[in-house]
């Protein structure tokens, strides 16, 4: 499981990711499978791509994308997280 995550994460740094690929990648870190990404889950995702300051950045990412303020990123809020990842994590995510 962990090895698989690393493979996907490494690939994401080398090539452009589509929105769907990003969502699929993110879903791998939804460890409690409630369909939402918590701050802790986002932190793990960021660690997988070797982002720096993951605790701080994951807090930033949640507050950036969490439109209804419940502390979780659900499906309708993923677009905001994509924007955040492009601006702050240097991920290249293309529309299709």
Tokens at 33, concatenated? 């499978």
Count other C-beta atoms under 10 Å from residue 57's C-beta.
19
> Of these, 3, 14, 15, 32, which contacts Ca ion (CB under 5 A)?
32
Q: CA 65 to CA 96: how far, in whole Å?
A: 21
Per-residue x/- marks for Ca ion, 37-76, CB under 5 A?
-----------------------------x-x-x-x----
What's the closest the beta carbon of residue 37 comes to Ca ion, in angstroms? 6
Q: CA 77 to CA 66: how far, in whole Å?
A: 6
> Where does this chain bind Ca ion (CB under 5 A)?
30, 32, 34, 36, 66, 68, 70, 72
């Amino acid at each position: 499981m962990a090895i698989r995550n690393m493979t996907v994460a490494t690939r994401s740094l080398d090539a452009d990711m589509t929105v769907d690929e990003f969502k699929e990648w993110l879903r791998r870190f939804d460890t409690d499978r409630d369909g939402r990404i918590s701050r802790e889950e986002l932190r793990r995702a960021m660690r997988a791509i070797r982002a720096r300051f993951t605790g701080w950045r994951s807090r930033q990412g949640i507050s950036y994308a969490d439109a209804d303020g419940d502390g979780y990123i659900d499906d309708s809020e993923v677009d905001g997280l994509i924007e955040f990842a492009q601006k702050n994590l240097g991920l290249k995510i293309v529309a299709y």
